[in-house]
Structure 1
Amino acid sequence: MAGTETVSTFDADGRVLARDLVSALQIPPQDNSAMDGYAVRRADVTEEGVMLPVSQRIAAGSTPSALAPGSVARIFTGAVIPEGADAVVMQEDTEAAGDQLVRVNRLPIPAQFIRRSGEDVMRGAVVLAAGERLHAASLGMAAGVGMASLEVARRPRVALFSTGDELVMPGTVAPENMKPGTIYNSNRFFLRSLLKGLGCDVTDMGIVPDRLDATVNALREASQQHDLILTSGGVSVGEEDHVKPAVQALGSLDLWQIAVKPGKPFAYGTVGAAHFIGLPGNPVSSFVTFLLLVRPFLLKLQGASKLHVNAVMVPAHFAWPRSDKRREFLRARLDAQGGLELFTNQGSGVLTSMVWGDGLVDVAPGQTVAHGDAVRFLPFSELLA
């Protein structure tokens, strides 16, 4: 995927910055007060309790005069420090002592409560780097250096469809009227949400019937104007799994099946100029492989610099005595003692485990876990960000 676009800074949340953002100004632009109080010359405050006249009042946004020797200036948070002042005494350390007189009850230290020009951002500094995925703080930073718009990576265009004659859309059939063997299409909903959360422009192509010709037609259509075709189901080894031969008929299948549990029937290839990723049909397998593999893939397409989340080591408050030859990702959540407990049913069709959990425990092939062992934990708060 190539290309950038310019968007309003208001609308850039979640987008990937296409070029370094260099500040044309300093923040703060001038020395200013961190407190409501009085700007002083320390040479005039020789002892606690000294009384000095108030020579001016400085509000935020106003331009002060130089501070007259032997006087103080009433100053408010964010207001520019007047020339000659070298400290601010906060209001709580002073008291009125008559008309336009103030008693200073605490000796100030050098530069007390003064925010120096450029202490946050220096002119010419790179405040946001290309490849950074923008969020609330970075949007505030961009606005703070005067950027009303930002150049960002173009949104990935993703075609999404599910396969399976057993799939039913919510709202089309009441639960009590569902035929035996049919299920509601939950994958379509969470995959669309995940794609939108990664800044994708999604074309929802619905449910494709379990026929080879229908699958070929859907793939051919999707490949015309999309960067990625993402499918759910139909990539296993059953006679009704038509995605694999359909992809091979139109392009190439470069990866099929991975040593991950849940998520073994995962596929990658190309159809025309479009990337193809086939997710398993079981909802947990589909969800987990999206987070682990599709998420970094889509971030890479947009030029993001950070693709993966960092695992944290957390004590296991569970035992996992049976090892597997595949790498396992167990749904777990933090308990009140700061350890991890497992959802009771780790089946690949149990979507409740994803709702209940706080993240995934990464168990290496052949590894067992004893109660108290430190395990690698991937929080959903990071994987879903």
Structure 2
Amino acid sequence: MREAATPEAHPHAHAHVGERRGVSEHRARLAELLAPLAARPAEEWPLRDALGTALAADLVAPMSLPPFDNSQMDGFAVCSADFSGGLDGAPGHLGPGLQEFRVAAAIPAGTVPRRLTSGHAAPIMTGAVMPAGADAVVPVERAVPSGFPEEGGTVALPPVGAGTYVRPAASDVEAGAVVLRSGTPLGAPQIGLAAGLGLETVPVRPPLRVVLVSTGAELAPPGVPLRPGQIYDANGTLLGAALREAGLVAVNVVVRSDKPSELRNELEALASLGENHRPDLVVTTGGVSKGAFEATKLALEGHEVEFVHLAMQPGGPQGLGSFSGVPIVAFPGNPVSCWVSWEVLLRPVLAGLLGAPTARRRVRAALAEPLESPAGKLQVRRARLRADGVVELVGGPDSHLLGALAASDALVMVPEDAARLPAGADVEVWLL
């Protein structure tokens, strides 16, 4: 298993097949549609709330880390030049390689030590400030006796060179340096760095506010008995969970009707909300195929929305545009299709524009079994990545297999020009 190049690195990713649009071209259209979202004003957020957002400006270190020379070990701070025998040791009654020092006052972490005088060794705790006059630390377990004698006593130590077990000031971060670039996703390590620099707040790009609209007369809410012909609405819950897991603010709306007017009324109500309440993006599921009762297509007639078919399986039917100034993305209605559309199309675009959500990690791995894929389409298969670095498929390619999706931890990207791949073939894998 090794890191993979992004799909854009494959020449065939831009190709049209018949009337189908290539996946990379569609991502580019999405990026063009959603680019204004990157210009939203920054907000200053407390560190405790910033997890999962992205920086809105470069983060410049207001101080150095460490801010002072400090000890890397519990031990004795010494001046390396005090070892008269050098690093080969000072023979004598103490034994080869040991030299006796007078014990100075101990240096706990958080205190300012006195200068260390020649011939003395100061007990020092991990992280404590190195005293002036000292340039090295001897770990306590190498001392004779292996402990900390009282001040004024003696201790025998082996010789060390200058800098041994010392963490120099600014060896991690230098004051004034850019430590995180604008757009960097803020995970726990980045939040920890900001806290270590003494920052209480950071400028962030606020999470997108997304309204998810599930459409279809066949949809029933969970918890009620199904009538003949009905199914439970998994799309809204599935996508809502995916977006919230990725750090977005997602609100679910369900239009349990195939009447275009009802969806249009819902969209008009969303578009008419005040600036502080209207969504940054609307995502619909269902009603975008080539059937006779595609309510989403009909509801968006007369608006700046285009409907296309992508060279992708699942998730071929797609729509994008705007409704009364609100960006709108229309996904197909099968649960796996709409989720794959989020992962393969929308998530990478938002990651590139905003830094959050983060893009999925991509690796190369060997297939556990052969597969077949429709010529001219990027096939996205659900899979599990084994401990030995081999990826095995879970379920088939169909777009309704929620059980297979729930058992997966990876996606296999089968390129458009691969109709068959044997077991052992090298494939691109996205880790979930």
Q: TM-score when scaled to structure 2?
A: 0.82
Which residue number in structure 2 is paired with residue 213 of structure 1?
A: 261
What amino acid does structure 2 have at the position aligned with 1:77?
A: T
The amino acid that maps onto 1:272 is S
Question: Which secondary structure does the structure 2 equivalent of 1:266 belong to?
Answer: strand
Query: Does 1:236 find its partner at 2:289?
Result: yes
Give yes or no for the alignment of 1:202 onto 2:250: yes
Alignment partner of 1:25 out of 63, 66, 71: 63
Q: Describe the SS at the equivalent of 1:95.
A: coil
* More displaced 10-residue stretch of structure 1: 52-61 or 29-38: 52-61
Partner Cα distance (1:162, 1:89) in 2: 66
Q: Aligned equivalents of 1:299 and 1:315: distance in 2?
A: 27
Q: Note if 1:328 corresponds to 2:382.
A: no
Instruction: Select which of 275, 280, 285 maps to 2:337.
Output: 285
**Equivalent residue, structure 1, for 2:407:** 356
Q: Does 1:345 align with 2:396?
A: yes
**Counterpart secondary structure, 2:343:** helix
Aligned residue number for residue 153 of structure 1: 205
Query: Secondary structure, in 3 states, of the residue corresponding to 1:109?
Result: coil
Residue 313 of structure 2: aligned partner: 261
Matches within 5 A, 1:311-326: 311-326=362-377
Structure 1: distance between partners of 2:406 and 2:395:
13
The answer as to 2:57 corresponding to 1:57 is no
- Report the CA distance shift for 1:208/1:222 in structure 2 as closer, same or farther (over 3 A): farther
> How many angstroms does 1:241 deviate by?
1.4
How many residues matched? 374
The answer as to whether partners of 1:247 and 1:269 remain within 8 angstroms in 2 is no
Is the partner of 1:112 in helix, strand or coil? coil
Counterpart-to-counterpart distance in 1, 2:254 and 2:352: 26
Partner of 1:133: 185
2:32: which partner in 1?
none
CA contact (8 A) 2:380 2:397 kept: no
Which runs of structure 2 are paired with 1:94-109 in the superposition (5 Å)?
A: 94-96=143-145, 100-109=152-161
Whether 2:220 is the aligned partner of 1:168: answer yes
Report the Cα offset of residue 13 of structure 1: 0.4
Question: Are the counterparts in 1 of residues 74 and 140 from structure 2 also a CA contact under 8 Å?
Answer: yes
Secondary structure of 2:160 counterpart:
coil
Deviation at residue 344 of structure 1 after TM alignment: 3.2
Deviations 1:56-109 (A, max 9, x none): 110110000110111000100000000111110001100239754343342212
Please state if 1:8 is matched with 2:46: yes
Query: Within 2, Cα distance between the matches of 1:277 and 1:219?
Result: 12
**Cα offset, 1:45, TM superposition:** 2.5
1:338-359 Cα distance to aligned partner (Å, 9 max, x none):
2111113331100112211121
- How far the C-alpha of 1:329 sits from its partner, in A, is 0.7
Taking the aligned partners of 1:281 and 1:123, their CA distance within structure 2 comes to 52
> How far 1:18 sits from its partner (Å)?
0.6
Residue 347 of structure 2 aligns with which residue? 295
Secondary structure of the residue aligned to 1:96 is coil
Distance 1:135 1:73 in 2: 39
Q: Residue 191 of structure 1 is aligned with which of 239, 243, 247?
A: 239
- Listed one character per residue, the Cα deviations across residues 282-316 of structure 1 (whole Å, up to 9, x for unaligned) are 11111111011121333455x32896445311011
Q: Which has the higher contact order (CA 8 A, sep 6+)?
A: 2
Asked if 2 retains the 8 angstrom alpha-carbon contact of 1:88 and 1:114, the reply is yes
| Residues 344/307 of structure 1: CA separation in 2 closer, same or farther (3 Å cut) | closer
Query: What residue ranges of structure 1 are gaps of 5+ in the alignment?
Result: 381-385
Q: Distance in 2 between matches of 1:245 and 1:351?
A: 28
User: 1:364: how far off?
Assistant: 1.0
Contact 1:156 1:298 in 2 (8 A): no
Does the Cα contact within 8 Å between 2:322 and 2:328 map onto a contact in 1?
yes
Over aligned residue pairs, what C-alpha RMSD do you find?
Answer: 1.9
How far did 1:218 drift?
1.3
User: 1:42·1:110 contact (CA, 8 Å) conserved in 2?
Assistant: yes
The alpha-carbon distance between structure 1 residues 162 and 256, as it changes in their structure 2 partners (threshold 3 A), is same
Distance 1:300 1:344, change over 3 A: closer
* Contact 1:346 1:353 survives alignment (8 Å): no
Give 1:120's aligned amino acid.
Answer: D
2:327 is aligned to: 275
Q: What secondary structure, in the 3-state scheme, does the structure 2 residue paired with 1:159 have?
A: strand
Q: How big is the shift at 1:20?
A: 0.8
Counterpart residue type for residue 402 of structure 2: L
Q: What is the distance in 1 between the residues matched to 2:110 and 2:387? A: 49
Distance, in Å, in 2 between the alignment partners of 1:329 and 1:16 is 28
Distance 1:247 1:25 in 2: 54
TM-score of the pair, normalised by structure 1: 0.92
Output the CA distance in 2 between the equivalents of 1:119 and 1:317.
46
The one-letter code of the counterpart of 1:339 is V
Distance verdict in 2 for CA 1:310–1:178, change over 3 Å: closer
Partners of 1:90 and 1:73 in 2: CA distance: 12
| C-alpha distance in structure 1 between counterparts of 2:357 and 2:329, whole Å | 21
Look up the match of 1:383.
none
Tell whether the 8 Å contact from 1:36 to 1:77 is kept in structure 2 after alignment: yes
Q: State the one-letter code of the partner of 1:60.
A: A
Please tell me the residue identity of whatever aligns with 1:135.
G
Q: Which residue of 2 aligns with 1:143?
A: 195
